Amino acid sequence: MAEGEFALVKDHLETAGKMPVSSKGFLMNETERYFLLADLAVLERDEAALRQYAPLAEEMARRDGHILFQASAHRAWGVLYRLTGDYAEAEARLNQALDLFQELETGWQIGRTLYELAELANARADHTVAHDYYSRALVAFEEIGANPDAARTREALRSLD
Protein backbone atom coordinates (compact mmCIF):
# COMPACT_ATOMS: atom_id res chain seq x y z
CA MET A 1 0.00 0.00 0.00
CA ALA A 2 1.06 3.51 -0.63
CA GLU A 3 1.53 5.96 2.19
CA GLY A 4 -1.80 7.61 1.43
CA GLU A 5 -3.62 4.29 1.62
CA PHE A 6 -2.15 3.59 5.07
CA ALA A 7 -3.28 7.02 6.21
CA LEU A 8 -6.77 6.26 4.95
CA VAL A 9 -6.83 2.90 6.77
CA LYS A 10 -5.68 4.63 9.96
CA ASP A 11 -8.44 7.22 9.64
CA HIS A 12 -11.05 4.51 9.18
CA LEU A 13 -9.77 2.49 12.14
CA GLU A 14 -9.71 5.51 14.41
CA THR A 15 -13.38 6.14 13.79
CA ALA A 16 -14.57 2.52 13.44
CA GLY A 17 -14.75 1.89 17.18
CA LYS A 18 -17.16 4.78 17.55
CA MET A 19 -19.58 3.62 14.85
CA PRO A 20 -22.52 1.60 16.11
CA VAL A 21 -23.68 -1.11 13.74
CA SER A 22 -26.75 -1.85 15.74
CA SER A 23 -28.34 -1.05 19.05
CA LYS A 24 -26.33 -3.95 20.51
CA GLY A 25 -22.79 -3.08 19.60
CA PHE A 26 -20.08 -1.43 17.61
CA LEU A 27 -18.29 -2.35 14.42
CA MET A 28 -15.29 -3.41 16.52
CA ASN A 29 -14.31 -3.19 20.15
CA GLU A 30 -11.50 -1.09 21.66
CA THR A 31 -9.14 -4.05 21.94
CA GLU A 32 -9.45 -4.91 18.26
CA ARG A 33 -9.20 -1.29 17.19
CA TYR A 34 -6.06 -0.56 19.20
CA PHE A 35 -4.50 -3.84 18.08
CA LEU A 36 -5.04 -2.86 14.44
CA LEU A 37 -3.84 0.71 14.94
CA ALA A 38 -0.68 -0.43 16.73
CA ASP A 39 -0.04 -3.07 14.08
CA LEU A 40 -0.50 -0.53 11.32
CA ALA A 41 1.99 1.74 13.10
CA VAL A 42 4.49 -1.15 13.13
CA LEU A 43 4.08 -1.63 9.39
CA GLU A 44 4.49 2.09 8.79
CA ARG A 45 7.36 2.50 11.26
CA ASP A 46 5.32 5.44 12.57
CA GLU A 47 6.96 6.48 15.84
CA ALA A 48 4.22 8.93 16.83
CA ALA A 49 1.46 6.39 16.23
CA LEU A 50 3.43 3.71 18.09
CA ARG A 51 3.75 6.04 21.07
CA GLN A 52 0.01 6.63 20.97
CA TYR A 53 -1.30 3.12 20.28
CA ALA A 54 1.22 0.63 21.75
CA PRO A 55 0.28 1.49 25.36
CA LEU A 56 -3.44 1.39 24.58
CA ALA A 57 -3.13 -1.89 22.67
CA GLU A 58 -1.19 -3.42 25.54
CA GLU A 59 -3.63 -2.17 28.17
CA MET A 60 -6.69 -3.48 26.33
CA ALA A 61 -5.06 -6.83 25.48
CA ARG A 62 -4.08 -7.37 29.13
CA ARG A 63 -7.51 -6.32 30.34
CA ASP A 64 -9.15 -8.82 27.99
CA GLY A 65 -6.54 -11.54 28.51
CA HIS A 66 -5.96 -11.68 24.75
CA ILE A 67 -2.57 -13.36 24.31
CA LEU A 68 -2.26 -12.77 20.55
CA PHE A 69 -2.90 -9.06 20.99
CA GLN A 70 -0.52 -8.93 23.96
CA ALA A 71 2.20 -10.44 21.79
CA SER A 72 1.44 -7.90 19.08
CA ALA A 73 1.68 -5.09 21.62
CA HIS A 74 5.11 -6.36 22.69
CA ARG A 75 6.17 -6.26 19.03
CA ALA A 76 4.84 -2.71 18.68
CA TRP A 77 6.83 -1.63 21.74
CA GLY A 78 9.88 -3.43 20.35
CA VAL A 79 9.69 -1.53 17.10
CA LEU A 80 9.19 1.75 18.93
CA TYR A 81 12.21 1.08 21.15
CA ARG A 82 14.30 0.20 18.09
CA LEU A 83 13.26 3.39 16.33
CA THR A 84 14.22 5.44 19.40
CA GLY A 85 17.55 3.65 19.86
CA ASP A 86 16.74 1.72 23.04
CA TYR A 87 18.01 -1.56 21.64
CA ALA A 88 18.03 -3.53 24.90
CA GLU A 89 14.33 -2.79 25.52
CA ALA A 90 13.57 -3.47 21.86
CA GLU A 91 15.20 -6.89 22.08
CA ALA A 92 13.40 -7.75 25.31
CA ARG A 93 9.99 -6.81 23.92
CA LEU A 94 10.54 -8.52 20.58
CA ASN A 95 11.65 -11.70 22.32
CA GLN A 96 8.56 -11.59 24.54
CA ALA A 97 6.45 -11.27 21.41
CA LEU A 98 8.27 -14.13 19.71
CA ASP A 99 7.82 -16.42 22.71
CA LEU A 100 4.08 -15.78 22.81
CA PHE A 101 3.63 -16.15 19.06
CA GLN A 102 5.55 -19.44 19.17
CA GLU A 103 3.33 -20.70 21.99
CA LEU A 104 0.32 -19.82 19.84
CA GLU A 105 1.96 -21.35 16.73
CA THR A 106 1.11 -18.32 14.62
CA GLY A 107 3.47 -18.69 11.67
CA TRP A 108 2.93 -15.32 10.06
CA GLN A 109 3.31 -13.46 13.35
CA ILE A 110 6.46 -15.46 14.12
CA GLY A 111 7.90 -14.50 10.74
CA ARG A 112 7.04 -10.84 11.23
CA THR A 113 8.66 -10.80 14.65
CA LEU A 114 11.79 -12.56 13.39
CA TYR A 115 11.94 -9.91 10.67
CA GLU A 116 11.78 -7.18 13.32
CA LEU A 117 14.57 -8.90 15.29
CA ALA A 118 16.61 -8.85 12.07
CA GLU A 119 15.90 -5.14 11.67
CA LEU A 120 17.10 -4.63 15.24
CA ALA A 121 20.31 -6.56 14.53
CA ASN A 122 20.80 -4.40 11.43
CA ALA A 123 20.38 -1.26 13.52
CA ARG A 124 23.11 -2.63 15.78
CA ALA A 125 25.26 -3.34 12.68
CA ASP A 126 25.33 -7.03 13.60
CA HIS A 127 24.83 -8.40 10.10
CA THR A 128 25.55 -12.02 11.02
CA VAL A 129 22.68 -12.02 13.53
CA ALA A 130 20.49 -10.08 11.10
CA HIS A 131 21.14 -12.71 8.42
CA ASP A 132 20.13 -15.46 10.83
CA TYR A 133 16.88 -13.74 11.80
CA TYR A 134 16.00 -12.88 8.20
CA SER A 135 16.67 -16.49 7.20
CA ARG A 136 14.42 -17.77 9.96
CA ALA A 137 11.73 -15.26 9.01
CA LEU A 138 11.95 -16.41 5.38
CA VAL A 139 11.40 -20.03 6.41
CA ALA A 140 8.36 -19.01 8.47
CA PHE A 141 6.89 -17.00 5.58
CA GLU A 142 7.55 -19.71 3.01
CA GLU A 143 5.95 -22.39 5.22
CA ILE A 144 2.63 -20.56 5.13
CA GLY A 145 2.88 -19.13 1.62
CA ALA A 146 3.19 -15.50 2.72
CA ASN A 147 4.73 -14.57 -0.63
CA PRO A 148 4.91 -10.76 -0.30
CA ASP A 149 6.60 -11.08 3.10
CA ALA A 150 8.93 -13.77 1.77
CA ALA A 151 9.90 -11.54 -1.17
CA ARG A 152 10.58 -8.58 1.15
CA THR A 153 12.70 -10.82 3.36
CA ARG A 154 14.68 -12.18 0.40
CA GLU A 155 15.40 -8.60 -0.60
CA ALA A 156 16.60 -7.81 2.91
CA LEU A 157 18.88 -10.85 2.81
CA ARG A 158 20.30 -9.74 -0.56
CA SER A 159 21.00 -6.30 0.84
CA LEU A 160 23.22 -7.88 3.51
CA ASP A 161 25.43 -9.60 0.91
Q: What is the pLDDT of residues 91-148, one digit of tens each?
A: 999 999 999 999 999 999 999 999 999 999 999 999 999 999 999 999 999 999 999 9
What burial class does residue 103 get, using C-beta atoms within 10 Å of its C-beta: 0-12 exposed, 13-18 middle, 19+ buried? Answer: exposed
Strand partners, 25: 22
- Does 2 have pLDDT greater than 90? no
Q: So what's the pLDDT on residue 92?
A: 98
Cα separation, 94 vs 3, whole angstroms? 25
Residue 98 lies in a domain: no
Question: Do 51 and 79 share a domain, yes or no?
Answer: yes
Give residue 160's pLDDT band: very low, low, confident or very high (50, 70, 90): very high
Question: Do 77 and 44 share a domain, yes or no?
Answer: yes
Asked which of 31, 55, 89 is the last residue of a domain, the reply is 89
Question: Do 49 and 2 share a domain, yes or no?
Answer: yes
Residue 77 lies in a domain: yes
Cα separation, 42 vs 124, whole angstroms? 19
More confident residue, 10 or 90: 90
Question: Do 109 and 36 share a domain, yes or no?
Answer: no
Helices and strands per DSSP (H, E), number in the chain:
8, 2
Q: So what's the pLDDT on residue 14?
A: 61
Question: Do 11 and 57 share a domain, yes or no?
Answer: yes
Residues 6-49 have pLDDT tens digits of: 455 556 556 555 555 444 555 567 788 899 999 999 999 999 99
CATH number of the domain that 121 lies in?
1.25.40
Question: Do 126 and 52 share a domain, yes or no?
Answer: no
- What total number of domains does the chain contain? 2
Question: Do 54 and 124 share a domain, yes or no?
Answer: no
Q: So what's the pLDDT on residue 5?
A: 53
Domain that holds residue 14: 1-89
